[in-house]
Chain A
Amino acid sequence: MNANITPVPTPGGDFMAQGEPGQELAVEQVSDAETPDQWWQVIWSAKKARVGIIILAVYVLVAIFAPIIAPHDPNDGSFEPLAGASSANWLGTTTTGQDIASQLIYGTRISLLVGLFGGLFATVIATVIGLISGYAEGSILDDGLSFVTNVFLVIPVFPLIITLVAYSEVRGLWLIVGVVSITSWAGAARAKRAQIITLRNRDFVTAAKFSGEGSWRIIFREIMPNMSSLVLASFVGAATGAIAAEASLAALGLGDSQSVSWGTMLYQSNAQGAIAQGLWLWVAAPALALAILTTASIFINFGVDLLSNPHLREDA
């Protein structure tokens, strides 16, 4: 999970996923004596994960039904500027007379889209590199891939992201998704490499080898299903990192100027001097929306961790 791009993950997000203990633990074998719980039951059994899933579901619904929920058009600047919260404008209006609540509601769409696709692409890169490198442990291929992974792990992510974005002429959502995915896969790749090393000498892999299956098939069809919880955890982490990165980029004015996102709200509020004029809601609303969404996904990952580490289940 990249907390900030600074992932920090952040931006602020990034160092949590990389140093997370437990992820590198081997998959424990579920005892055969009792029927193992289904994976969704395991995740749901953790209270934190339940809270996270419910919060995420609310965000998804808000994103889908934004036109119905939002009281106004987010770009409509016909309201009285600088108004406080009222029944017509739940969170007040901006300096140019837009409804803050409607912007907040529509902004959910951008964040979730960036999270979905950024998380997906970063996870694909991390999985391919991590699995191939770990399966070929000790070979030149592994040395090369591990080196690339380690380089990307130490380069500060956010400065690299903004450098790449700065050179692009078009500033759009897909640029952000692309740049975030190619810069933030390294931590997850390393965790997957560590795990496949513990799996690749298991009997079922040897059996697959003797039956003449190709390496590609063994890695992705035989072994990968056994580490799906790690893949899922790294998807959630990467998605969180992508959401945080988009917000920070847009806050600096590097976002997609065509659409309303929480990051562009922050950029506008700063550029128009919202704070000096006492319009703190304009800042606090997107900040809170982001923080709650990020916290929810961290909570979901508590549940996902239970899948790969049954020791944690008793505490939950």
Chain B
Amino acid sequence: MKYFARKFGFFVATLWAVVTLNFFIPRLQPGDPAEIMVKRLAGKDAALDQAQVEAMRAMLGAPTGSLWEQYVNYLNELVHGNFGLSYTYYPFPVTAVIGQAFWWTIVLVTIVQVLSFVGGVVLGAYAAWRRNTRFDSVVTLGSTFLGTINPFALSLLVLYVFGYTLGWFPTSGGYEEATPGWNWAFIQEAVSHAFLPALALLIVTPIGWILGMRNTMVLNLGEDYIRLAKAKGLPDRSVALKYAARNALLPSVTGFALALGGVLGGAILVETVFDYPGLGRLMGEAVTQKDYPLLQALMLMSAVGVLVANLAADLLYGVLDPRARRAEG
């Protein structure tokens, strides 16, 4: 129990740190982002919702009030889910803009994360089992090289080959004419539009899993219990799967959340190239347009997303590996 309490405590403390960091980032810069934003919006439309202006000030730094008052104000707005108005999508509040893009990225990233985890772990395990063979070096070197390709450039090249030259998939956007919702026409369009962004991410992301799994499993294969299993006359397949791979899988579980951060970073680049209507493209847009309220909210969201995934991985690890519970309990 103590293990779980500790992990939960770390989660709460980190959450606080991230929220506080998010408070200070806009205030580190000289000048007053909030004032600039409010002025920009005022130029667009004279009638500003005063409550939304207050929310924006709380997020980005109010010209009045002590830092502490600003901080309390910021937390208050945060708890009420009030992030101010988006500049680019004025007059929509940030939360509405994010709500539109949310599921696109969640579905894309989840599929990529699961596929690259499963594929990476299987390839890594097999490479370890057949270590120092041609298969091993092709997988290790191949994934190392592919993993170093810049996701932005890779997306453009994938687009060139499958979108323009072969013409197999649509080249941009998330759907064509169908009405978004649970209808067959829309799902079909969404899948075909998601295919290339997912492919681009899938080429770069499995490297961590492959190398991590391979290295852990190679270490495990030298252990006595593997020798014993072989000496008992167990078939190779059970030694590989039930003994070595099963134990080597554990460290990969803790890496899950950290890898998610990498996938989110990659999604910014990939979605920008494919003009995919998700959070990544939104963040790229928020940066270039200096849409600070939107940017702050997205930054906070991605950090909280990784934190939650990290907590889930830690808790799962505690369930899977009794040693972890005992060591810290």
Contact = CB atoms under 8 A, between A and B. Distances in A.
A270 B156 contact: yes
A298 interface: yes
Most B CB contacts (10 A, CB to CB) among A147, A163, A280 go to A163
A272 to B, nearest CB: 12
A278 interface: yes
Contacts of B86: none
Interface residues of A, dominant DSSP: helix
A169 B30 CA distance: 9
Contacts of A310: none
Interface string A129-171: 0000000000000000001001101111111101111111100
B144 A158 contact: no
A269 interface: yes
A295 B145 contact: yes
Contacts of B156: 266, 269-270, 274-275, 283, 287
Q: Which of A151, A169, A276 has the most CB of B within 10 A?
A: A151
Contacts of A158: 261-262, 264-266, 268
Nearest to B207: A3
B295 A163 contact: yes
Range class of the A interface residue count? 35 or more
A154 B296 contact: no
A147 B215 contact: no
Contacts of A14: 261-262, 265
Contact of A12 (B204, B212, B287): B204
B133 to A, nearest CB: 14
A251 interface: yes
Interface string A63-88: 00000000000000000000000000
A278 B163 CA distance: 11
B272 A12 contact: no
A162 B287 contact: yes
Contacts of B303: 154-156, 159-160
A270 B171 CA distance: 13
B292 interface: yes
Contact of A294 (B148, B152, B258, B306): B148
Interface residues of B, number: 70
A284 interface: yes
Pick the most buried of B18, B28, B266, B288: most chain A CB atoms within 10 A of its CB: B266
Interface string B253-267: 001011111111110
A162 B295 CA distance: 9
B204 A154 contact: no
19 contacts: A4-B151, A5-B265, A8-B151, A11-B265, A12-B148, A13-B262, A15-B262, A16-B211, A19-B212, A21-B215, A156-B265, A166-B292, A167-B292, A252-B269, A252-B272, A266-B150, A266-B153, A270-B152, A274-B156
Interface of A: 3-16, 18-22, 147, 150-151, 153-160, 162-169, 244, 247-248, 251-254, 266, 269-270, 274-276, 278, 280, 283-284, 286-287, 290-291, 294-295, 298
Given A154-B306, A295-B148, 19 more contacts: A4-B148, A5-B262, A8-B205, A12-B149, A12-B150, A12-B266, A13-B148, A16-B211, A154-B307, A156-B262, A156-B265, A158-B268, A164-B25, A166-B287, A244-B150, A251-B150, A252-B287, A280-B157, A290-B148
Interface of B: 10, 13-14, 17-18, 21, 25-26, 28-29, 31, 33, 144-145, 147-154, 156-157, 159-160, 163-164, 171, 204-205, 207-208, 211-212, 215-216, 219, 251, 255, 257-266, 268-269, 272-273, 283-284, 286-288, 290, 292, 295-296, 298-299, 302-303, 306-307, 310
The 9 A-B residue pairs whose C-beta atoms are closest, nearest first, are: A158-B265, A287-B153, A6-B265, A156-B261, A294-B148, A8-B262, A251-B152, A6-B266, A167-B29
